[in-house]
Amino acid sequence: MRPFPVRRFAVLLCFIAGTAVKAQELSLEELPGLKERALVLNITTRVAENKQEVWTSSNSKVTIPGRPVSIKLVGGNVVVAVQLTPYLRDKGRSVLVAQGQIWVDTPNEGIRYKTTMQTIPINFGEQIYFLPLGADDGSANNPHIELRIELLRYEETLPKEGQEEPAATEAAAAQ
Q: Is 104 exposed, middle or buried (0-12, 13-18, 19+ CB in 10 A)?
A: buried
Rounded-to-integer distance, Cα 139 and Cα 146, Å:
16
Domain ranges of the chain: 14-174
Pairing of strands 78-88, 69-74: antiparallel
- CA 103-106-110 angle, to 5 degrees, is 80
Task: For 81-138, give the DSSP string.
Answer: EEEEEEEE-GGG-EEEEEEEEEEEEETTTEEEEEEEEEEEEE-TT-EEEE-TT----S
pLDDT tens for the 175 residues of the chain, in order? 444 444 444 434 344 444 333 434 555 666 667 778 899 999 999 988 877 888 899 999 999 999 999 999 998 888 999 999 999 987 778 999 999 999 988 888 899 999 999 999 999 999 999 888 777 666 656 678 899 999 999 887 766 655 555 544 444 444 4
- Residue 99 CA to residue 101 CA, distance in Å, equals 7
Q: Are 67 and 61 in contact (CB under 8 A)?
A: no
